[in-house]
A and B are shown apart, each in its own frame.
Chain A
Amino acid sequence: MAATRDSALTRAFDNDWIGPGLVSLIAVVAISLAQPAFLSPFNIFVLMSAISVNMVIALGQLVIIGLGQMNLALGSIGGLVAISFVGVIERYGIPVPLALAFALGIGIAAGMSGGYIIARTMISAFIITLAGLQIFKGINLGITEAQPFYGVPEAVKAFGQASVIGPLPWLMVPMMICSVAMWYLFNRMRIGRHILAMGSNPHAAELSGIDANATIIWAHGISGLLAAIAGLMLVARLQIGQPTIGDDWLISSFAAPVIGGAVLTGGRVSVAGTFFGVVIIAIITQGLVMFNIDPFVVQIVLGALILWAVAVNRLREMRIARVQARGAGA
């Protein structure tokens, strides 16, 4: 009896997304009971738009976390892509599809170039992406001189404001495509397996014939692409090519995957868990606004959430290890 309960419990604990999923559910119920306006169509629309953008940002960091590295340049790539997209349209009148391809290309190139340097030199990703952060941000500000581009095409503006049905924004569509694609990548594709293998044990991965350089470069390229998509989604949402896009991605891009059970040393990620991590952050942020709590508190809560999630992940790891040890002994 005890054994079956234990194994069911362990399995539930082992599942990365159950915990954050439950927390999100409870939070939604609790807040909507206290404040029925929380479930108003308008509020849901705002919430879902924020979740959509933040999920793509979090996925961009998740790939690199899976690899056991970090990408500090995520936000600056997103910002550079955003202003380049609006910039080429405003200055040179380039058609939107072409500008889109150009902007996504910048994201991939920016990510891959960082990945190339990391792979070739094996210098820590932290320092290379810190340099990348500064370079991309510097180029962004050098081009814009800190002034926004206003020439966002109407079609793009409409995309950021329109809803598919009811209170569900169109912005959800790219988010869902990216999420499914990333789930597929990690669970069904060779490159995803290689990324996770590199993350859990780079030495073993290389010995088993994985091309380490290619894996690192691809992972950073994908991260850059996701940063670019998130940057473009923000352009649609804000209706303006803001040079400050990306400045505040750093904390939340780590918070969501960590809340979702990702192990920061690499090798273990959960797309569904990350989604609920994003949801929890969005609900808390929105909840603070609804209850007229100082918006400055958000920063404190985000930091506390990261610590909480790290602690929970540690406890869970220890618990799983203990149960496994007991199972092996029996």
Chain B
Amino acid sequence: MAHAGADNPIPPGSAPRRMSSGMRLLLGNEFGLAVLILLTVAVFALTLDGFTSPFSIYTIGRQIGIDTMIGLAMMAVIVTGGLDLSVGAIGVCSAMLFGWLMQVMGVPVPVAVPVAVLFGASLGFVNGFTVVMSGVHSFIITLASMSIFFGVMIFLTRAAAFNGLPPQVQAFGKMRVLPGISPLLLIAVAVCAALVVFYRYSTLGRQMLAAGANARAAELSGIRTGRVIVACHMLTGLLAAIAGLMVTARTGAAVPSMAGQLGQDWLLPAFLAPVLGGTLLSGGRVSVIGTLLGATFINIMTSGLLLMRVGEFWILAFLGVMLLIAVLADRTRQVFLTSRGMI
């Protein structure tokens, strides 16, 4: 992990170091978010009719699964201090390939899933490779690639949806594993668990965090940061593809407009969940569980507001305000901790 020298000036957004684990837990985003989620659920459950209905719980959970996956996809590249505007485009492209493979080529589902997911990873590779080779910030590279990926997809599909998918796909999207639990949520939780292990115990995962915290130090200690950054982008592509397939399962069709124009509609959930969860935009620190909690909080608020008959359009504005509050709260906490000498 990152080495923060005790006498170095603290870079904005470095992780807390000299703190007891109990204190760290209390001041961490995860704990605060968990409390906030419990409070919100309690308030909504008591005041809103239908919030705790099995159907409501089921749909909220399913959407939490999808938003978590979108958030994790962005988180995987935020680690490096970069970003990927093309997550939505990659997700849609993978979903459309998934649909094409099954509907046009007659490929069975168990084959189409890994192919589509690997395709997402390869689009991520294109992003990462271009970023590393050109030395240009990932913002502008992925801005261009989102236009190209989405344009090629729309050109090839003629903007038409694949809605003759095998019945298993739709059945999966409507399935209930336990009463009120969608398999999509379970997939997201499983991926979270895998990522926690990956970042904590695998060499590559630790190298990603090190390269993100301080690229130069990482390079000096023998990490080939270029390769690691490419790997981060590939992980982003892979997770975005899984998110795309999950949306396809929920809708029962692969639709080119499922993430809006150029896939831009995914950008807000992609940043909101990790930022709420405490992932630092400057890189070097991830919070997988925080991202899951962030996505959970967003969806509980959204469905609560919908039940209160707040128009769905106003909820868009509300989500933007929430992103502002999240980053402001994060900054305030950092200032507070710094002033108390806790980081």
A122 near B12: Cβ-Cβ < 8 Å: yes
Given contacts A250-B264, A300-B155, A307-B141, is CB(A138)–CB(B147) below 8 Å? no
| Interface residue count on the A side (C-beta < 8 Å) | 46
B140 at the interface (CB under 8 A from A): yes
Determine if A138 and B318 form an interchain contact, defined as CB atoms under 8 angstroms apart: yes
Contact B154 A131 (CB under 8 A): no
- Chain B residues within an 8 Å CB radius of A321: none
Query: B140, A258: Cβ atoms under 8 Å?
Result: yes
Measured between alpha carbons, how far is A138 from B130 in the docked complex, in Å? 34
Say whether A154 faces chain B, with CB atoms less than 8 Å apart.
no
**Residue ID in chain A nearest B83 by CB atoms:** A126
Within the assembled complex, what's the spacing in Å between the Cα atoms of A146 and B152?
28
Q: Is A123 an interface residue (CB 8 A)?
A: yes
8 tightest CB-CB pairs across the interface, nearest first? Answer: A138-B317, A299-B151, A134-B320, A303-B147, A138-B316, A303-B148, A135-B320, A300-B151
Q: What residues of A have a CB within 8 angstroms of the CB of B271 in the complex?
A: 127, 130
Contacting residues, chain A, for B147 (C-beta < 8 A): 251, 299-300, 302-303, 306
Q: With A and B bound together, what is the CA distance between A139 and B136 in angstroms?
A: 34
Complex-state Cα separation, A311 to B144, whole angstroms: 12
By a CB distance below 8 angstroms, the chain B residues around A70 are 139
Q: Which residues of B contact A297 (CB under 8 A)?
A: 151, 155
| A247 interface contact, C-beta 8 A | yes
Q: Give the residues in chain B near A298, CB-CB below 8 Å.
A: 151
Q: Which of B96-104, B173-181, B195-203, B324-332 contacts A (4 or more CB under 8 A)?
A: B324-332
40-96 of chain B: CB within 8 A of chain A: 83
Is there an interface contact between A134 and B140, defined as CB atoms closer than 8 Å? no
- Give the residues in chain B near A130, CB-CB below 8 Å: 267-268, 271, 320, 323
Chain A's closest residue to B143 (CB) is: A254
- The smallest C-beta distance from B267 to any residue of chain A, in angstroms, reads 6
- A222–B247 alpha-carbon span in the complex (Å): 40
Question: Which of B298-337 touch A at CB < 8 Å?
Answer: 311, 313-321, 323-324, 327-328, 331
In the complex, the answer to whether B323 meets A137 with C-beta atoms within 8 Å is no
| Residue A107 CB within 8 A of the other chain | no
Q: Given A134-B320, A142-B317, A264-B137, do A307 and B144 touch, yes or no (CB 8 Å)?
A: yes
Tell which of A131, A142, A254, A307 touches B311, judged by Cβ atoms closer than 8 Å.
A142
Contacts of B320 in A (CB 8 A): 130-138
**Contacts A127-B327, A131-B324, A264-B137; is A248 near B148 (CB within 8 Å)?**
no
Contacts of B140 in A (CB 8 A): 254, 258, 264, 306, 310
Q: Please determine whether A138 and B314 come into contact, CB atoms closer than 8 angstroms.
A: yes
- Given A131-B321, A134-B317: A123 and B327 interface contact (C-beta under 8 Å): yes
> Which residue in B136, B313, B328 is a CB contact (below 8 Å) of A145?
B313
Cβ of B261 and Cβ of A300 under 8 Å apart?
A: no
Indicate if B146 sits at the interface (CB-CB under 8 A): yes
The answer to whether A127 and B141 touch (CB under 8 A), given A134-B268, A139-B317, A304-B148, is: no
User: Does B139 contact A296, Cβ atoms closer than 8 Å?
Assistant: no
Q: In the assembled complex, which residues on chain B have CB atoms less than 8 Å from the CB atom of A145?
A: 311, 313
**Chain B residues with Cβ under 8 A from A139's Cβ?**
317
Chain B residue nearest to A299 in the complex (CB): B151
Docked pose: A138 CA to B328 CA in angstroms: 20
Can you list, as one digit per residue, whether each of B147-161 has a CB less than 8 Å from chain A (1) or not (0)?
110111011001100
A-side contacts of B135, CB under 8 Å = 314
**Total contacting residues, chain B, CB less than 8 A:** 46
Q: Is B268 a contact of A300 with CB atoms below 8 Å?
A: no
A208 surroundings in chain B (CB, below 8 A): none
Find chain A residues with CB under 8 A from B319 CB.
134, 138
Q: Is B281 an interface residue (CB 8 A)?
A: yes
A40 near B: Cβ within 8 Å? no
By the criterion CB–CB under 8 Å, are A299 and B311 in contact? no
Given contacts A303-B146, A306-B147, contact A127 B281 (CB under 8 A): yes
Smallest CB-CB separation from A252: which chain B residue?
A: B147
Question: Does B20 make an interface contact (CB < 8 A)?
Answer: no
* Shortest distance from the beta carbon of A81 to any chain B beta carbon, whole Å: 16
Indicate if A124 sits at the interface (CB-CB under 8 A). yes
Whole-angstrom CA separation of A191 from B159 in the bound complex: 46
Min CB distance A227 to B, Å, is 16
A119 at the B interface (CB under 8 A): no
Q: Smallest CB–CB gap between A58 and chain B, Å?
A: 14
Contacts A127-B281, A250-B262, A310-B141 supplied; 9 other A-B pairs, CB < 8 Å: A123-B327, A130-B271, A134-B319, A145-B313, A297-B155, A303-B148, A307-B141, A310-B136, A314-B135
Residues of B within 8 A of A264 (CB): 136-137, 139-140
Report yes or no: A142 in contact with B314, Cβ–Cβ below 8 A: yes
Quick check: is B275 within 8 A (CB to CB) of the other chain?
A: yes
Residues of A within 8 A of B314 (CB): 138, 142
Chain B's closest residue to A264 (CB) is B140
